[in-house]
Each structure stands twice: as C-alpha cells, then as structure tokens.
A and B are shown apart, each in its own frame.
Chain A
Amino acid sequence: MESLRILLLMAFRSLGGHKIKGLIVGSLLAFGTFLFVLGTTLLESVERAMEASITRSITGHIQLVSARAVDRLTFFGPEASSDQDIGVLPDFSRVREVASKIPGVAAVIPMGRYYGQPILNTELDEAIEALEEAFAEGDPAVIEDRIGKVRRMAARLKEDYLRAAALAADDEEHEKAIAALDRVTSEEFWTSLRHAPEEGLQFLAFEIAKLSDDESMLYLPFIGTDLHRYAESFVHFEMVEGEMPPPGTRGILISQAAYDQFFKNRPARVLDLLHEAKTLDGRRIADDAALQDLVSRLKEMTAQVTMHLSPRAATELDAKLRERFPKVEGDLDARLAAFFEVDDENFAERYEFFQKEVVPHIPLYRVPVGGTFTLRSMTKSGYPKAVNVRLWGTFRFKSLERSELASAYSLIDLASFRDLLGLMTAEKRRELDSIREEVEVSEIDPNDVEAFLFGEAPVIEEGGEADLDLDARLAALDRPTDEDSDTFDPAEIEKGTILHAAVVLHDPGKLREVMARLQEAFDREGLEVKPLAWSEVTGIIGQLVVVLRAVLYVLIGIIFVVALVIINNSMVMATMDRIGEIGTMRAIGARRGFVLALFLLETLVLGFFASALGALAASALLALLGQTGIHTHQPFLIFLFGGTALYPAIDLANVVWSFAVIVVISVISTFYPARLAARVPPVVAMQGKE
C-alpha cells in the first residue's frame, strides 16, 4: 500500500526529528537485547558445558533407580552427604538387558554411591614406626633424632589431653591416657628404652599410638561400580598414575585431587597449594591472610619431612640448609622451619628446591599407588565395617582436574563396595530367600540382613523359639562376599544387589525420548525402575542452573519493565509535543488508524534497528569470546565451564528470539501512547500555533 510508504517515511523522519527520545529509547532497547542475547547464550553455553562435565564423568545422562526409592538420588550438595534411602534396583542384570535394547543407549553401568573413612597412619604412628626402624638399623645418632621426635609429639599430645581434661574432666579412659602420656614424657622411660627397646617400643605402639587422632579423618565419597565399564563409558575418565585393576579384582581408584588433598605428605601438599595459589590464581602471600596462615602452619610441619628421611638424606639436606641458614641454631628441624618461612620473593626458588632435594627422599603419599589401606564405613544397617583395599591408581576427569566437585568421588570395585555396605551377592541372596521361605518370613530386606542377624530388626513376626540351625545359617550370611579373596566373579556380582545404574547415551539430545522409552520398557517388563535425568540427580548443581536462569530472567524482566515505562513515558511526551501535527493530519483526512499505525511503526522501526544493533553487538562479543574463550582458575567455575575455559557458542534461535521479544516489548509499550495520539481531535489543528 502506498500509504505504508508515507507511514514508513514519516516514521523514519519523525525519529530523525526527535533524536533525544529516539536515542534514549533506542539505547535502552539495544542494551536490553544485548543483555538478553549475551545472558541466554552464556547461560546455555554453561548449561551445555556443565552437562558435559557431569554426564561424561560421573552421572551419565540418565540414572536408573528403584521406583520405590524414598529419597531422590543426589550426587552433589548437602543431600549427597546425608544417608539417602534410595532402595535397590530389582535385578540389575535384567535392568541392563532391557535398557541396553533401547536405541540410543550406549552403556549401562552399575553404581552405588557411598562414603567411607580411610584409616591411615597418624603422624605419631609414623614417628613410632620410624623409631622402630632406627633401632633395627642401630645408628645411635638416628635413634636419638627419632627419640626426640616421638618425645616432642608425646609432649604435645599430653598438653592436648590436659587441656581437654580441664574442659570435660570425665572418665577413666581419659585419666589412663594421661597416665600413659606421663610415662612416655618422663626421662626414665627413655633411659630404659635405650637399654632395652623391646618393652618401651611395644608400649609406644600399643598404648600411645592410638591416643593421637589425626586431624585428617576425612570421609571419602566413592562410587562402587564396574571399574572397566566405567572407564570405557565415561569419556572424561583418564588414569593419572598406576593402572586399572584386572577385571574381577578388588581395588580402589582415587581421584588425583582427593589423593593430593588427603593422602599427600602435608608439607608437600601445603607447598603445592601455595604454588597453585601463586601461579594459577595470582594471589600473593603478602596480602592474603589465608596464604599466610598456610605458611605459619607449614613451619610446624617439619617433623613430617625429617622423620621420613634416611640418616644419609638427612645429613645431606642439613648440609644444604646450613649453607642457606648459617645463623640458625639447633637441628635440621629448626633449619627446615627457617626454610619453610616462605614469602612472595623466595617461594618459587624454595618450591623448586623442595621438589628436587626433599621430595625424592620422603614417601610423598601416605598410601603409595599399589599400596593397601583400610577403608571403614557403616553398613546400611548401621554396623561398622572395614575392608582392606588396594589402591591401584589415581584418575582424573579430563579438563576438570582442579574442580573439587568433579573429583569428589573415588571409584571402588563392586565386591568391596558391597562389603562396605553389607549388601549381598546373588548366592547369598538365594540362600536368604530359602531361609526366608523356611521361616515364612514375608519380608527380609536384603539390606537389613545384618540387623536381622544381630537380632535388632523385628523382621521375624512370630517370635517363637529361635531355631539354632537357622541362626547358624544366618550367621554364615554375615560375610556378604568372600572378603579374603582378592578376586570375584564380575558376572556373579552384578546379579547381586545393585543400588542404581548410569545410562550413557550416544546422543545427549535424545535424553527425554530415551527416558520415555526406558520407562515404557521397564513397565512392560514389570521392573520397578525409574529413570532420572542427570539434572535431577545433581542436587545443588542442577538447581544452580535453575537459579541462574531465574536470576537472568528476573534481570531481563526488570530491564523490560524499565524499558516499558521509559518508552511509554517518552512516547506520551512525544504525543504531547506532536498534538498539532496529529490534529492537522486528522483534519486533512487521516483516519485514527493511520495515526495509531504511525506511532506503532515509529517504535517498531526504532525497536527493529536498536534491537538489531544490540543483537549484533552481543553476537560480535560472543563470537570474540568464542574464539578467545572465557578463562578461569576458579575450581567451581571450572566445573561449570567444563574446563578452564568456556567457549560460548552463538545459538541463532537465541538471537532471533531475543530480538523478537524486544521488538514486541517496544511495540507493546507504545500501545497506550499511540492510542492517546489516535484520540487527538482534528479540531486542535485549528487552534494550533506553530
């Protein structure tokens, strides 16, 4: 239509004629679009990156859980460290068989999430052991050095106990401990030890060592799984040190980050932390209280180096330190303490010296790769359980090395896992079933077998007289697996109790579709299994995306409301300014619709160009960021970004969508002023003054 031409022309010209209004409204719309495009794109990139981080390392795309689960399976956040009742999968072998047939499913991996406490030697344990070794070797100088260390530790421990006693003077236990410590801090004890070490060493090992509890007692979260299938199916998984246990062999793989955090020699670890803080995060000791605190703790940790040194290594190190600190009085510990007094200037050099001169002479980790340690946990029915596990190696998730979240979990074989939880093998389960039949007990929860054995759970309804034979047979079930064997039959183990399972997909985009098909297949097969999307089992992480999205939308919403109000106001003002012009147009024959269209078109044109400009600017910035990446050393951001850099990818749909929304908003906000303008009566033209 020809009048569209004049409308457009007038719209453009009016915009030109009202530059200030156009500029304000235009920049607002451009900025709104800019933020909208930037925000949604970054958020989506983060979501995608985070999804990849999680699904390719820990959860897979879908988790299969029992439909009877009371709690929602959660891998991260506070729920994850509570004792979740997620039930057990009914018959994992069949679950896997059914799930594997669904198109799009790449792998089904058995899993169980739990946590245990590694029982590691304390510093005192190690000092006593070192003293024993020194006696065995017989070098008097070394013996004296080691005696000195144990005595110092014992003295420190005694102080701790006395302080604790003052606070809560209670039981015999405490007094006995203090009496024992009294003895080892006395001169006579050590004199007699020097002459006849046997008895004194025994006293130290059995009565004193246990009194020290290390600060370190961490909980190690782990996932009991088929380690090989895990390694194959999770593409982010890679070994750092050691090797995979051969199939059917018990063992644990610890994430390198957890290994460094909990198992590494303390002073070495503290130096690493300082090194990372300085080189990766650019922090400075001089103006960082946390780092200063680390340094002052480092100075207390000399014994954790010196007690591990062989006499020769100790002499060599002492010679080198003497050169550096000729004025420092006292022994190697004193000189090492001086060495540990690091600052921003000397750190790099001392760190290097430590790596070169000290690290090769001490055990760097409390359990070496290939070594064995004891892992203690509470079984599901509340009994403590300890299992010896071999540390086969350490692993990491590619590009997520520094993320604490991604490296929270260690991986353990299913047999050990089952022992730690007190779960049963298929064979034991059959046995239990037959016992159950005999006693006509309807319900013995496989998880409650221990409670059942220990007579606490009221699982047998009719009490009656206890069947001695039955008790004996149940007692045999106490050992859920053959714990003395290093190996197990993987096929057999998967027929036993499995808590949940991860499903890895070929195409993550098909998530919802595969979930629906899985549910359908399980229902058809009568398996009480429920598929959960990765985002549903990631706790705070999954919620984080929701929160981020909400924040973004609230922000955009605010911008919109502000834009709406400002556009509305400035258009109303523009209408007032232009009353004469409108009246004239009306007088010479323009219909109301024409005026309405003119005003709407004006903002439409403005909105179109401003919004296009904003979208363009955002796209340009995103394209640039897509090239350079957004870099971070922040562990949490690393997890969000799926690595140390996020490369945002522009999604055209986002750009178009933001653009359209802004244009629509601008038109909506003009509706009222445009209607106002359309109501201007033609008679005002007659009253007009130019």
Chain B
Amino acid sequence: MSAIVSVENVVKEYPLGKLKVRALDGVTLSFGEGEFAAIAAPSGAGKTTLLNLIGCVDVPTSGVVRIDGQATSELDDAGLTRLRLHKLGFIFQSFNLITVLDVYQNVEFPLLLQGGMTKKERDRRVREIVEQVGLDKQMRHRPNELSGGQRQRVAIARALVTRPRIVLADEPTANLDSATGQNIIGLMKEINRKNRTTFIFSTHDPMVMSQAERVIRMADGRIVGEERRAAEGAA
C-alpha cells in the first residue's frame, strides 16, 4: 500500500525565549489511502504539532513530511496553500466556522477558493454534503444559531466538500459531550468507508480511540506504540 502521508524522522522545535522546546523528537510514520487513524496521547505530547506538519500549516525543523509524494519543506507559502486547498480537509477542535457566513456559505467557501466549478455543480456538491451530515434543514443558519455538534458537522461538511484525499482532525470531539462526540466520530467513519478518504485525528478520549482502525500512541514528542485492529462492524 503506497503511503499518502509519510513522516520521516521529523523533528519540530519551537523557540521559547532563549530555549527551544522540542515538540516532536524524531517521528517516523506513514498513512495509507483510506486509513482511519487516531493519534492518542496525553496533552502536550505533540499531537497538534504533528497534525500541523501533516496539514501543511507548518513545516518541520528537520526531517521530511510528504503529502502524496510531495515534500512540504520544498514548497513556499503559495504552494502549501494550494496543497491544503486541494488535498487536505480540516476539522478543528473549536470548529472554526466563519461566523459571518451561514451553513451553506461556510461549506461553499472552499469550493469558491478552488474556483473552476459551475454554480450548479457547486450547489449540487454543497447540498449533497450538507444532507449527508444531516443539516439540510439548517442550510441558512448562521453558526451561532447551531449547537456544538451541529457546528462540527458543518466543519466536517466543509472539510469534505472539496473531496480531499486526507482529512485531519485535531481533537474533534474535545469540545463536545461524549454522546455527540461518538456521533461525530461515527459520521467521520461512515464517510471514510464510503469515500475512502484518509482520516487522521487526534484524541485523548479512549471512547474515541476505540473507533479507530489504527491507534498511534505518543509521549513527549515520540511514537511510543501502535495498535491496529480490523475494521469493525457495528460497535
């Protein structure tokens, strides 16, 4: 199985005054197409840092991150932006919807950034995905009129509308109650099965972890273990 994401001996240091904080300390990893993987670790272990590097919003201090074969450190800001726009989808811990836009417009937003699509085609895609996350009744609502779970569904729709190869989610359930969290992970998993979209998400919630096919354990910026289990049927 060819890796769609590969992380090779990556080190990431943050300056902290005169010192340096080593957030990632030689991480090597790869993800195949269609995986549904969880990065499980306690707070401060480096989950967000790792996802940032994979998500091309940051570049490693040393080592290589490849997305679909392309090393991110070789790209400039415009190149990274293009990569994010076309190959990646993001689901944020705090949903990060654009507050001034309604559900439909939030979801449509990445398609508009991509351009090159007829209005009709775009409309079809937006409605399809919004239906899929079950928000067709809230199409014209603004984010502040939605519950947390609904907001995260919008975020999922927004991440998926461009049909990215990889969706990254940094603790997507951290701001949700556990039932809603389960629900969201369920939705992600369903889409993963249907579209073969690679999902990489971080969590420190065992309930969430249990949904993953692959669980990568981290501590202090290192990979400390990994479990795989066969795709389950109904949980």
* Interface-located stretch among B22-30, B80-88, B183-191, B203-211: B80-88
CB distance B96 to A580 under 8 Å? Answer: yes
| Chain B contacts for A594, CB-based, 8 A | 113
Q: Does B31 contact A (CB under 8 A)?
A: no
Q: Does B172 contact A (CB under 8 A)?
A: no
| Chain A contacts for B55, CB-based, 8 A | 587, 686
User: Given the interface contacts A17-B99, A689-B94, does A681 sit within 8 Å of B113 by beta carbon?
Assistant: no
Q: Does B146 contact A (CB under 8 A)?
A: no
Q: Does A398 contact B (CB under 8 A)?
A: no
Q: Does A688 contact B (CB under 8 A)?
A: yes
CB distance B119 to A587 under 8 Å? Answer: no
| Chain A contacts for B201, CB-based, 8 A | none
CB distance A588 to B100 under 8 Å? Answer: no
B114's closest neighbor in chain A, by CB? A589
Give CA–CA (A54, B48) in the complex, Å.
79
Give CA–CA (A3, B159) in the complex, Å.
18
B116's closest neighbor in chain A, by CB? A2
| Residues 580-602 of A at the B interface (beta carbon under 8 Å) | 580-581, 584-592, 594
Q: Does B77 contact A (CB under 8 A)?
A: yes
| Chain B contacts for A5, CB-based, 8 A | 112
| Residues 76-104 of B at the A interface (beta carbon under 8 Å) | 77-78, 81-82, 84-86, 89-90, 92, 94-101
| Chain A contacts for B109, CB-based, 8 A | 6, 585, 588
CB distance A581 to B98 under 8 Å? Answer: yes
- Most chain A beta carbons < 10 A, residue from B48, B89, B113: B113
CB distance A10 to B98 under 8 Å? Answer: yes
| Chain B contacts for A6, CB-based, 8 A | 105, 108-109, 112
| Residues 110-145 of B at the A interface (beta carbon under 8 Å) | 110, 112-115, 119
| Chain A contacts for B48, CB-based, 8 A | 686-687
- Most chain A beta carbons < 10 A, residue from B52, B90, B100, B159: B100
B151's closest neighbor in chain A, by CB? A690
| Chain A contacts for B159, CB-based, 8 A | 588
Contact of A591 (CB < 8 Å), options: B78, B89, B95, B105: B78
CB distance B96 to A3 under 8 Å? Answer: no
Contact of A587 (CB < 8 Å), options: B57, B77, B114, B162: B57
CB distance A588 to B158 under 8 Å? Answer: yes
Q: What's the nearest-Cβ distance from chain B to residue A481, in Å? A: 88
CB distance A9 to B101 under 8 Å? Answer: yes
Contact of B84 (CB < 8 Å), options: A581, A587, A681: A587
A580's closest neighbor in chain B, by CB? B96
CB distance A688 to B114 under 8 Å? Answer: no
| Chain B contacts for A584, CB-based, 8 A | 92, 96-98
Q: Does B58 contact A (CB under 8 A)?
A: yes
CB distance A690 to B94 under 8 Å? Answer: yes
A585's closest neighbor in chain B, by CB? B98
CB distance B96 to A589 under 8 Å? Answer: no
CB distance A588 to B85 under 8 Å? Answer: yes
| Chain B contacts for A585, CB-based, 8 A | 98, 109
A679's closest neighbor in chain B, by CB? B77
Give CA–CA (A682, B90) in the complex, Å.
12
Q: Does A16 contact B (CB under 8 A)?
A: yes
Contact of A690 (CB < 8 Å), options: B82, B90, B95, B105: B95
User: Given the interface contacts A588-B90, A589-B81, A591-B81, does A686 sit within 8 Å of B52 by beta carbon?
Assistant: yes
Q: Does B170 contact A (CB under 8 A)?
A: yes
User: Given the interface contacts A589-B86, A686-B57, does A13 sit within 8 Å of B100 by beta carbon?
Assistant: yes
| Residues 48-68 of B at the A interface (beta carbon under 8 Å) | 48, 51-52, 55, 57-58
| Residues 155-171 of B at the A interface (beta carbon under 8 Å) | 158-159, 162, 170
CB distance A581 to B99 under 8 Å? Answer: yes
- Most chain B beta carbons < 10 A, residue from A1, A2, A586, A689: A2
CB distance A682 to B57 under 8 Å? Answer: yes
B89's closest neighbor in chain A, by CB? A588
| Chain B contacts for A682, CB-based, 8 A | 57, 81, 84
| Chain B contacts for A9, CB-based, 8 A | 101, 105
CB distance B112 to A2 under 8 Å? Answer: yes
Give CA–CA (A681, B52) in the complex, Å.
12
| Chain A contacts for B98, CB-based, 8 A | 10, 581, 584-585
User: Given the interface contacts A9-B101, A690-B94, does A3 sit within 8 Å of B113 by beta carbon?
Assistant: yes
How does the 8 Å CB contact mask read for B16-37 relative to A, with 1 for contact and 0 for none? Answer: 0000000000000000000000
Give CA–CA (A5, B97) in the complex, Å.
19
User: Given the interface contacts A588-B85, A589-B81, A589-B84, does A688 sit within 8 Å of B96 by beta carbon?
Assistant: yes
CB distance B112 to A686 under 8 Å? Answer: no
A1's closest neighbor in chain B, by CB? B115
Give CA–CA (A587, B175) in the complex, Å.
20
Contact of B113 (CB < 8 Å), options: A581, A588, A683, A689: A588
CB distance B57 to A589 under 8 Å? Answer: no
| Chain A contacts for B89, CB-based, 8 A | 588
Chain A residues at the B interface, C-beta cutoff of 8 Å: 1-3, 5-6, 9-10, 13-14, 16-17, 580-581, 584-592, 594, 681-683, 685-690
21 A-B interface contacts by CB (under 8 A): A2-B112, A3-B115, A5-B112, A6-B105, A6-B108, A6-B109, A9-B101, A9-B105, A10-B100, A17-B99, A581-B99, A584-B98, A587-B90, A588-B90, A588-B109, A588-B113, A590-B85, A682-B57, A682-B81, A683-B57, A690-B175
Other CB < 8 Å A-B pairs besides A17-B100, A685-B92, 7 of them?
A: A6-B108, A9-B105, A585-B109, A588-B84, A588-B113, A686-B51, A688-B92
Q: What 10 pairs across the A-B complex have the smallest Cβ distances?
A: A589-B85, A13-B100, A682-B57, A584-B96, A690-B94, A683-B57, A6-B112, A589-B84, A3-B112, A589-B113
